[in-house]
Amino acid sequence: MDTILWTVVLSSAAYSALLLLYVLAMLGLAFWETRVRRHQADVEDFDAVRASRYTIPVSIIAPTFNEQVMAVPSARSLLGLAYPQLEVIIVDDGSTDGTLAALIEAFDLEPRQSFFRRILPSNPIRMVYRSRTDPRLTVVAKENGGKADALNCGVNFARYRYLCCVDGDTVFIPDALLRAMAPVVKDPGRIVGAASLFGISLEPELIAERQGAVQRTNRHLLADFQHLDLLRSFIAFRSAWTRLKCMLCVSGAFGIWRRDVILEMGGFSSEFTCEDIEMTFRIHHKYLREGKPYRILSLPNMVAQTEGPRSIRSLVSQRARWQRVTLETIWHYRSMLGRPRYRTAGLVGMPYYVLFECLAPVVQVLSVLTLTVAAITGLMDWPAYLAFFGTMAFATAIPTTFAISMHDVAFRDYRPSDLARMLVLGPLDLLLYRPILLYAGLRGCWEFLRKDKRWNKFERNVRRPAPAIAPP
């Protein structure tokens, strides 16, 4: 029994050490990538790109479902993007609340028959709306079919060479598209996809209105942990994977795709719970197999704020879904794992996903249980037990500190007080936030085994009432 316990304990320690080494290696690469991107952004003539008639036009596709609160602010931010030529296609995927009515009122929409190319299959369209005030805006009301179906519908309406697929609950800074497209327009022949960092906020529309280029934490523990989690993921992993040419997840909240590539892939798939990571894997799989030159980037600029769940229950639902889709995708593309034919995608990216995403919930639960049993049985005394978790808390906080540091050195867009808050949250992450993700990960694994495909959309956060205006 002691031997078994020790074996498990040492294995857990080895797993943690391996993860830490991987993270530190990725941070090193991310440092290099972020530094290069920062320099490039520093010397980029954005005014010329903004004013140029040669800047590649972009079709922005925003699927929405029951986004009565966020649809209008999100659409306003898209129409307010500082980019020379774009169109915005909002696809209302059969909302049952007042989403469509809110959009109609806000943008003076009128219904119009609009013939389009049915290149990708999607559920029937009920009506197409055009804005009387802004000809760039089209709203397509269709029967519910899920996000992938809505995206494919939007692709059918899109007229430009590049697509920007976004979430209907995300609010963008004015320079979002300009900064994301700047590297793309320099190399449109090779760059087929690009993502960029976004933040988590409980009320993104207020954040975007208030702060402009300054980022802030939410002063809400759960939201701030999510914000930190995303920052760490983008900075530590996705930037490094970009440098290694194995960027494996263009997030659905903000993803730029070359339209001909999406059509070549046959559009987004409804067979997976989420469409974003699967499309990224599919492109790597196909292009590496065929030996075609291509690049998919993740840029470190924070371009938007998206709504994050306020409650633990909602967060668990969301993260279980993410775990589920990760497992679905990894299982579907398991042939890439460890094969030199798929280069760094198969040799670096896939192993990470298998070891540290798919297996993580099971390994972590086993570790915690084993250590607890070891403490209970006296194999390990309680001070040692607590010291172990304390060590892990700080050890996992160190890469977070590096990630925050790299972002701050590159962009200097957080206030020092918010930096301090994020730093303090680092060691608390393991003790307060990770258990939630652990549970969500286990639930996601269970849902994957049960072939559950539900979206489990979380309820929109209740908005604070506007402050009362004192009478004159």
Partner 1 sequence: MLASGELRLYLVWSFAAAGTLWALLSGLLLLNRLWHDHRRRRLEEITSRIESSGVAVLSLKAPTPEIRRILRTLSRRAIYRMIERPSTSDAVAAACAAFAVERWGPEQMIRDASEHDRRTKWRRLAALLALAHLRDPNAYRLLAVALEGHDRDLAGAAVLGLVRLGDHRAATILIDALRKRLYSPSRIATHLERFPVPVAHLLRPLLSDPEPQTRYWAASILGSGATDPSLLSDIVVLTGDRDASVRKVAVEALALLTDPRIPEVVLALLVDPAPFVRSAAIRALALAARALPEEAQAGVVRAIAARLADDFWEVRNAAKEALVGLGPPVWTAVAQQLDSTDAFARNGAAEVLQNIGLLDQLIATVAHGNAPDPTLTQVLGRAFEEGGPMMIDAAVARTGQERLPQVVSLLASIGLRPAT
Report the residue number, 394 or 455, with the smaller CB distance to partner 1: 394
Q: Spell out the residues 6+ positions from residue 154 whose beta carbon is closer than 8 angstroms to its own.
A: 59, 61, 62, 63, 89, 91, 140, 163, 165
What SS3 state is found at 69?
coil
CB of 223 to partner 1, least distance (A): 21
What is the closest distance, in whole angstroms, from the C-beta atom of residue 132 to partner 1 in the complex? Answer: 10
Residue type, 15: Y
Shortest CB 422 distance to partner 1, Å? 10
Shortest gap between Cβ of 202 and partner 1 (angstroms)? Answer: 25
Residue 396 · residue 430 · CB < 8 Å: yes
How far is Cα 394 from Cα 264, in angstroms, rounded to an integer?
46
Cβ neighbour number for residue 295 with a 10 Å cutoff: 17
Q: How far is the CB of 42 from partner 1 (least distance, A)?
A: 6
Residues contributing to the site for partner 1 (CB under 8 A)? 2, 6, 39-40, 42-49, 51-55, 110-115, 117, 125, 127-128, 159, 185-187, 378-381, 383-384, 387-388, 390-391, 394-395, 397-398, 401-402, 404-405, 408-409, 412, 416, 419-420, 423, 426-427
Please calculate the CA angle 263-268-272 and round it to the nearest 5 degrees: 155
- Cβ of residue 23: shortest distance to partner 1, in angstroms? 14
Nearest residue (CB) to partner 1, 112 versus 463: 112
Q: How many whole angstroms separate alpha carbon 366 and alpha carbon 382? A: 18
Q: How many CB atoms lie within 10 A of CB 18?
A: 12
- Chain position carrying tokens 């943690």: 16
CB of 333 to partner 1, least distance (A): 32
**Which of these, 242, 283, 277, 307, lies nearest to 463 by C-alpha position?**
307
Query: Helical H runs in 307-433?
Result: 312-332, 343-344, 350-352, 360-376, 382-411, 416-428
State which residue, 112 or 292, has the beta carbon closest to partner 1: 112
For partner 1, the closer of residues 27 and 230 by Cβ is: 27
Q: For partner 1, give the closer residue by CB, 417 or 469.
A: 417
By beta-carbon proximity to partner 1, the closer residue of 389 and 455 is: 389
Supply φ then ψ for residue 46, to 5 degrees. Answer: -65, -30
Q: Point out which residues pair with 61 in neighbouring strands.
A: 89, 165
Cβ-based nearer residue to partner 1, 281 or 388: 388
CB of 63 or CB of 427, closer to partner 1: 427
Residue 364: CB minimum distance to partner 1, A: 18
